[in-house]
Amino acid sequence: MASDSTGVVIAALIANGAIAVLKFGGFLLTGSPSMLSETYHSVSDTGNQVFLLIGIRYGAKEANRSHPFGYGKAQFFYAFLVSVLLFGIAGWESAKHGYNAIFHHSAEQVSREITRFGYTFPRVWVNYAVLLGAMGFESYAFRKAYASMRTQIEEYEWSGFREAFEKTSNVVVLTALTEDTIALLGAGIALVGVFLTDVTGNPIFDAVSALLIGILLMGFAVALAWENKRLLLGESLPESDEDELRSVVAGHENVVGIDGFRTVFFGSERALVTADVSFDPDMDTGELDAAITDIEDALIAADDRVKKVYIEPEL
């Protein structure tokens, strides 16, 4: 799954880097407020991928004395930075630019022409070309992130993307899919704004679309930050999954009762399970050790997210 996450991020990084350059070029040629907002958006997305790759690499470091469970939570931290620093800042700048354009728009932003290679054509055509091209690139990145999230939904039998958004611990794929979805929506909003401004001659539509893109970015920034917060604070496995693991322990022939059962994510799709278990008091030490080993192996086999198991016998 780590390699899948890396592939999703690299695909998005390449696409967003190229798109950011194209969008900025489109803004320089047209002066479109929504195109500048989309430039902020794509620069944000490109930076996001860099942070996510750092999180993947840092999170893969081996466990040591100071970090006995490894560095898996680094992915949660860097994904949180993505949502707060990049989505938030890009969203604010986009919204501010759109707001200023609404109250200080100028007719100069409309009907200007550009001459290249002996041809004269409306500058707005550049926006059309860039935005349609961006939607094509983003669709490619979106398909990769969508397929990866769909695999998780099927594996864990979640009802759909809403439940996956609330329960997944793979914040890399979650963030990439969110980015790609917003990118497609943002490009669509910008395209509509540019088109309406082009056909009506009124720059207010372009400016409003810039404001909407900024609001969209900030809204998803809050949602992503909230989802990463739950993992940074040490969220357990979903209740239904935890109940299944508990039943694995309770179903062992030598278990009399379960006095305590806890799970927590310590990395992307890496969970720790601890349990206080009452065993048959007639067991000797060798039988107890064998029973504990059986339970640990059964828990790991039952859910591939379980990487560490600690059983405390209560005789």
Supply the CATH number for residue 304's domain: 3.30.70.1350
The CATH number linked to 10 is 1.20.1510.10
Summarize pLDDT for 233-243 with one digit per residue, the tens.
989 999 999 99
Q: Does residue 251 share a domain with residue 140?
A: no
Q: Does residue 132 share a domain with residue 207?
A: yes
126 vs 304 pLDDT, higher one? 304
135 vs 107 pLDDT, higher one? 135
Q: Is the pLDDT of residue 303 over 90?
A: yes
pLDDT confidence of residue 274 = 96
Q: Does residue 154 share a domain with residue 292?
A: no
**Contact call for residues 183 and 214 (beta carbons, < 8 A):** no
Q: Does residue 277 share a domain with residue 177?
A: no
Q: Does residue 181 share a domain with residue 91?
A: yes
Q: Does residue 295 share a domain with residue 197?
A: no
Q: Does residue 63 share a domain with residue 42?
A: yes
Domain hosting residue 271, numbered range: 239-314
pLDDT band at 45 (very low <50, low <70, confident <90, very high): confident
Q: Does residue 87 share a domain with residue 21?
A: yes
Mean pLDDT, residues 45-50:
84
Mean pLDDT, residues 41-49:
81
Question: Buried b vs exposed e over 189-225: b needs ≥16 C-beta within 10 Å?
Answer: bbbbbbbbbbeeeebbbbbbbbbbbbebbbebbeebb
Q: Does residue 228 share a domain with residue 245?
A: no
Q: Does residue 290 share a domain with residue 187?
A: no
Indicate the number of domains in the chain. Answer: 2
Q: Does residue 257 share a domain with residue 128?
A: no
End position of a domain, from candidates 201, 232, 263: 232
**Contact call for residues 54 and 39 (beta carbons, < 8 A):** no
Q: Is the pLDDT of residue 42 over 70?
A: yes
pLDDT confidence of residue 257 = 93
Summarize pLDDT for 58-111 with one digit per residue, the tens.
888 888 888 888 888 898 998 888 887 767 777 888 888 888 888 875 544 444
End position of a domain, from candidates 209, 232, 255: 232
Give the Cα separation of 54 and 79 in Å (integer).
10
Mean pLDDT, residues 2-29:
81
End position of a domain, from candidates 206, 232, 258: 232
pLDDT confidence of residue 247 = 95
Q: How many CB atoms lie within 10 A of CB 109?
A: 18
pLDDT confidence of residue 120 = 63
Q: Does residue 225 share a domain with residue 272?
A: no
